[in-house]
Amino acid sequence: MAVRDGERTKGAILTAAEDLFARQGFDGTSMQQIGEAAGVARSTPAYFFRSKEALYDEVLARVVARAEEALAAGRHQGEERSPDDAAASYVNALVDLLSRDQNLLCLVQRESLGDGNRVAPFLGRLAEEAVEVFTPAAEAAGISPHRLVLDMVALSWYPLAHEHTLLPALGMKPRKPAFLDEQKRHLADLLHALTRGGGRSPEHVPR
Amino acid sequence: MAVRDGERTKGAILTAAEDLFARQGFDGTSMQQIGEAAGVARSTPAYFFRSKEALYDEVLARVVARAEEALAAGRHQGEERSPDDAAASYVNALVDLLSRDQNLLCLVQRESLGDGNRVAPFLGRLAEEAVEVFTPAAEAAGISPHRLVLDMVALSWYPLAHEHTLLPALGMKPRKPAFLDEQKRHLADLLHALTRGGGRSPEHVPR
DNA sequence: GCAAACTAGCTGAACGCTCAGCTAGTTGTC
DNA sequence: GACAACTAGCTGAGCGTTCAGCTAGTTTGC
């Protein structure tokens, strides 16, 4: 194994920076901390990435690329299934992604406390894709696909974004597999209830 | 009007600090900025509040007190009404509060990206109160009141927390009165649908 | 095959700057 | 004149960035 390997070092710095930026935010993280966490000198992160901001941009880009890959897989998995199954499959992929990739959630959350400019393109694509996936289900339910996307994302996102605040107060542990399974079931049931029950005959809720 | 008025100056500093902490976060805000925004010298905030952290704590306490007052009013307004009307009234108060008080939302959101310790007591009380308010409606719907609270808070919270990220991507402007009215109607409909439609056969209803 | 020339990886020190907090002092109010 | 309100100046620590320099590895010339 090479003692000096630029790509490996860059990777280590990116990973360390991602964890620290996610946990402490941009302002709360110093290049010194990043260097220490990556096992390099204080000045090495700047050597490879020019500036703290450029490093942050690359961290974000990598996280977003991971997310898009995961969601594309979830979308592909639901192809050629019934409308609400396709939607449920996409929601499952979203729940899995958010619960697995804590850094993604934290970083996007932090960005959305700013102006959100840096993640806007990513969310634009996500929204477009999700609307496409949910449109059949939304038509069956007689509601706007945008509304359906918003509700599903909100219900998937919120518990994990507030796992240390409201969720403990409600006695819930949103990262436990038991919760995540129930969460997926709950969202799928909601979709079913809307498309079967909400559209025409509200009295009967299947499943 | 007195030139020197400690209480008034303290209030101005608190207000300035609240806006800046909400917009830029704790690490991103300096005592200098707070002083400038409040129209006092660099060192005056520290004179009244001892330290930056103590000032932050008082900002948070004031915001939380405002929120609890508003929610208590919303709860009182729904008293002696039908279960889902009481719940809808509470949700309305929540939506109004979150849309009106942007600083509350931002500050709690920032706290929940940390360990959430500072807002845990507040959210504990909120959760307890909300569970109490929602229990009749949840029983009518045959679902867990905690789940109902979580879903209602998530659906109320998320759009405003992501008003610059996902919402524009969906073509929505969550601070516009039109959106807020539709939001309230939507949530009330959801409550009705659950308690009326789902109430009869609890074993088939999503938990 | 083997130096010499060159490059990329990485570092420690130093720069200019900003920060929060402290202290000594001044100014307004009763 | 006593006390609260307020401020300017100072300080040590920490920040991001720059940079000359060292070293390990690769390429070139013979």
Query: With helix as H, strand as E and coil as C, how does A128-177 read?
Result: HHHHHHHHHHHHHHCCCHHHHHHHHHHHHHHHHHCCCCHHHHCCCCCCCH
Q: Is A201 exposed, middle or buried (0-12, 13-18, 19+ CB in 10 A)?
A: exposed
pLDDT digits (tens, 9 = 90+) for A35-74: 999 999 999 999 999 999 999 999 999 999 999 999 998 8
What local confidence, expressed as pLDDT, does residue B199 receive?
38
A44 CA from C8 C1′ (Å): 13
| Mean pLDDT, residues A83-105 taken together | 93
Q: Which two tokens stand for residue B8?
A: 């008034």
State the nearest Cα–Cα gap between A106 and chain B, in angstroms. Answer: 7
CB contact under 8 A, A172 and B109: no
Residue A1 has pLDDT above 50, yes or no: no
* Reported confidence tier of residue A82, pLDDT bands at 50, 70, 90: confident
Residue A142's pLDDT is: 86
Is pLDDT at A9 greater than 90 in this prediction?
yes
Tokens (6 digits) for B58: 């008082």
Q: Quick check: B30 CB within 7 A of strand D? A: no
User: In the prediction, which pLDDT does B20 show?
Assistant: 97
- pLDDT score of B78: 72
Report if CB B183 to strand C is under 7 Å: no
Distance A48 CA to C21 C1' (A): 36
Cα separation, A107 vs B22, whole angstroms: 17
10-residue stretch averages of pLDDT, chain B, 207 residues long: 82 97 97 96 96 97 96 84 85 96 97 95 95 92 93 97 96 97 93 64 35
Instruction: Note the strand D nucleotides within 7 A of protein beta carbons.
Output: 4-9, 14-19, 24-25
pLDDT, tens digit, 9 for 90 and up, residues A126-162: 999 999 999 999 998 889 999 999 999 999 999 999 9
- A-chain residues near B206 (CB < 8 A): 185-186, 189-190, 193, 205
pLDDT the model gives residue A140: 86
Question: Cα–Cα–Cα angle for A181, B149, B110, nearest 5°?
Answer: 85
What is the reported pLDDT for B27? 97
Torsion of CA A175, A176, A178, A182, to 10 degrees: -10
Nucleotide at minimal C1' distance from the B45 CA: D6
Q: How far apart are the first and last CA of chain A?
A: 56
State which residue of chain A sits closest to B148, comparing Cα positions. A170
Contact A109 B113 (CB under 8 A): yes
- Say whether A186 and B116 touch across the interface (CB within 8 A): no
Instruction: Identify residue B25 by its one-letter amino acid code.
Output: G
Q: Does the beta-carbon distance from B115 to A164 stay under 8 Å?
A: yes
What is the nearest nucleotide to A44, using C1' and CA?
Answer: C10
Q: Are B154 and A155 a contacting pair at CB < 8 A?
A: yes
Long-range own/partner contacts, residues A112-118 (CB < 8 A, 24 or more apart):
A112/B161, A112/B162, A112/B164, A112/B165, A112/B166, A113/B25, A113/B106, A113/B109, A113/B110, A114/B164, A115/B164, A116/B162, A116/B164, A116/B165, A118/A57, A118/A60
Question: What pLDDT is stored for residue B2 in this prediction?
Answer: 66
Q: What is the pLDDT of residue A196?
A: 67
- Which of B106, B165, B171 lies nearest to residue A120, judging by beta carbons? B165
Contact between chains at A202 and B206 (C-beta distance less than 8 A):
no
Is A46 within 7 A of strand D by CB distance? yes
Which residues are within 8 A (CB) of B183 and not within 5 positions of it... i.e. 6 or more apart? B95, B156, B159, B174
| C9 C1' to A41 CA distance, Å | 12
- Hey, are the CB atoms on A205 and B186 less than 8 Å from each other? no
Q: Measured between CB atoms, which of A154, A186, A205 is closest to B155?
A: A154
**Which nucleotide C1' is nearest B6 CA?**
D5
pLDDT per residue over A155-190, tens digit each? 999 999 999 999 999 999 999 999 999 999 999 988
Q: Is the pLDDT confidence value at A119 over 70? A: yes
Residue A202 has pLDDT above 70, yes or no: no
Residues sharing a CB contact under 8 Å with residue B157, sequence separation 6 or more, in sequence order: A154, A158, B98, B105
Question: Hey, are the CB atoms on B166 and A111 less than 8 Å from each other?
Answer: no
Contacts 24+ apart (CB under 8 A), A5-10: A6/A48, A9/A38, A9/A40, A9/A44, A9/A48, A10/A48, A10/A49
Enumerate the residues of chain B whose CB falls inside 8 A of the CB of residue A109: 109, 113
pLDDT at position A27, please? 96
Q: Nearest chain B residue to A153 by CA: give it.
A: B158
pLDDT tier at A199, thresholds 50, 70, 90: very low
Nearest residue of chain B to residue A102 (CA atoms): B113
Q: Does residue A197 carry a pLDDT above 80?
A: no
The spacing between the Cα labelled CA in B165 and the C1' in D16, in angstroms, equals 29
